[in-house]
């Protein structure tokens, strides 16, 4: 079990963030252990066909035998949504001692794989060379495996954060943490992550907590090292929607009442979604979706809220009852 000791200042500085590098590293787990990620089977098949076989040994070496990831390759986001290049710059600036510590910890108690043995050579130059090699490798991997699907992945992650923010507003930290995952427990100022290989406590010490939703997390994943500041990657909601085929509305009284397009929209809006994502899932233009959303909003079946430049739509309580009844 890993525990985070969080005082008032830490709770006040609890934030959500999206980490593209964390998603890339997490996806390596799905390639390594497909049985844990059945929802991503279509993605895995397509990615394996696109990867350069020459990159395979080093990519596989970045995931430990227990599926642990090196902490320096999953850096804590400093903004809400850093770019991949922002995070790779942090990776390249990692001190050599931390690189050695994190790679050994990810593979412990086993020896380092051959692809990483260069860090055992004298001096820091081999580690600096490895960091540059890893940066280039992860950029190539991103472009092949994650980049093509990142816009819709990010929309799903942002929808998860919108849901969590609503939980926090309705029930405070108690409801927020109890809803993250069954392995996460919050009590008396301590956030406990159960069923972990490690066993240590991390004192927040005013550094705050970063909560990072991930579509490639099968369970909560804190940093491996107790020296890292509090951060928790957790399974994001909606991963099953990424690769699902376009929904087909069935014949029902609700379809007869609203029509097939609006019925399908109402069913999709169990979670907050923007117009462009709804259009993608339905295979129509955003303007066509906007017309139907305008009607659903005017009749009180959906609500809307602005999120930066986008507008997120979600079913109202009346819309929930109507959709669930159908």
pLDDT at 246: 55
Mean pLDDT (whole number) for 4-28: 94
Stronger pLDDT, 139 or 281, i.e. the higher one: 139
CB 208 within 8 A of CB 224: no
Mean pLDDT (whole number) for 275-280: 90
Label residue 150 exposed, middle or buried (CB < 10 Å: 0-12, 13-18, 19+). middle
pLDDT at 108: 93
The ranges of the chain annotated as CATH 1.10.10.10 are 245-325
DSSP string, 276-299: HHHHHHHTS-HHHHHHHHHHHHHT
- pLDDT interval class at 251 (50, 70, 90): very low
Query: Is residue 196 pLDDT above 60, yes or no?
Result: yes
β-pairing, 231-235 with 184-187?
Answer: unpaired
Using a pLDDT cut of 90, give the percent of the chain over it: 67
The interaxial angle of helices 20-32 and 150-178, nearest 10 deg, is 90
Alpha helices per DSSP H over the chain: 8-12, 20-32, 41-50, 56-61, 84-92, 96-107, 125-141, 150-178, 253-258, 260-268, 275-282, 286-298, 317-325
CA 53 – CA 75 distance, rounded (Å): 27
CA-based torsion, 255, 258, 259, 265: positive or negative:
negative
If DSSP states are collapsed to H, E and C, what string results for 230-241?
Answer: CEEEEECCCHHH
Mean pLDDT (whole number) for 290-315: 90
pLDDT at 242: 84
Mean pLDDT (whole number) for 259-277: 89
Q: What is the pLDDT of residues 147-156, one digit of tens each?
A: 999 988 998 9
Label residue 116 exposed, middle or buried (CB < 10 Å: 0-12, 13-18, 19+). buried
pLDDT at 252: 67
pLDDT at 173: 87
Query: Is residue 228 pLDDT above 70, yes or no?
Result: yes
Mean pLDDT (whole number) for 277-284: 88
CB 118 within 8 A of CB 129: yes
CA 112 – CA 103 distance, rounded (Å): 8
Tell me how crowded residue 135 is: count the other CB atoms within 10 A of its CB: 16
Query: Is residue 34 pLDDT above 90, yes or no?
Result: yes
β-pairing, 302-307 with 310-315?
Answer: antiparallel
CB 271 within 8 A of CB 159: yes
Q: Which residues partner with 55 through β-bridges?
A: none
Which of 196, 214, 207, 239 minimizes the C-alpha distance to 2?
Answer: 196
pLDDT at 188: 87
State the average pLDDT for the chain.
90
Q: What is the pLDDT of residues 86-101, one digit of tens each?
A: 999 999 999 999 999 9
Query: Is residue 241 pLDDT above 90, yes or no?
Result: no
Q: What is the pLDDT of residues 117-144, one digit of tens each?
A: 999 999 999 999 999 999 999 999 999 9
Query: Is residue 320 pLDDT above 60, yes or no?
Result: yes
Q: What is the CATH number of domain 245-325?
A: 1.10.10.10
- pLDDT interval class at 325 (50, 70, 90): low
């Amino acid at each position: 079990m890993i525990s985070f000791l969080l005082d008032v200042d830490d709770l006040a500085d609890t934030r959500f963030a999206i980490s593209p590098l964390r998603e890339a590293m997490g996806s390596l787990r799905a390639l390594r252990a497909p049985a844990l990620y059945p929802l991503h089977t279509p993605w895995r098949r397509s990615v394996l066909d696109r990867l350069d076989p020459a990159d395979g040994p080093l990519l596989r070496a970045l995931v430990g035998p227990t599926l642990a990831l090196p902490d320096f390759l999953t850096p804590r986001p400093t903004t809400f949504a850093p770019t991949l290049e922002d995070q790779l710059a942090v990776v390249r600036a990692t001190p050599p001692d931390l690189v050695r510590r994190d790679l050994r910890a990810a593979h412990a108690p086993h020896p380092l794989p051959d692809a990483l043995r260069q860090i055992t050579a004298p001096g820091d130059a081999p580690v600096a060379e490895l960091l540059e090699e890893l940066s280039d490798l992860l950029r190539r991997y991103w472009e092949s495996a994650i980049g093509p699907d990142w816009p819709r992945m990010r929309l799903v992650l942002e929808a998860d954060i919108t849901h969590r923010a609503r939980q926090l507003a309705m029930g405070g930290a108690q409801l927020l943490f109890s809803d993250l995952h069954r392995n996460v427990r919050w009590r008396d100022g301590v956030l406990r992550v159960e069923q972990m290989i490690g066993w240590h406590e991390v004192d927040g010490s005013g550094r705050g907590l970063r909560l990072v939703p991930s579509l490639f997390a099968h369970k909560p994943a804190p940093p491996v090292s107790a020296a890292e500041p509090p951060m928790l990657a957790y399974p994001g909601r909606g991963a099953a929607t990424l690769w699902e085929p376009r929904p087909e509305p069935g014949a029902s009284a609700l379809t007869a009442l609203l029509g097939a397009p609006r019925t399908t929209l109402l069913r999709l809006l169990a979670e907050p979604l923007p117009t462009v994502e709804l259009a993608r899932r339905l295979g129509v233009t955003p303007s066509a979706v906007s017309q139907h959303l305008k009607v659903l909003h005017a009749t009180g079946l959906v609500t809307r809220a602005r999120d930066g430049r986008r507008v997120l739509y979600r079913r109202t309580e009346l819309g929930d009852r109507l959709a669930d009844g159908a």
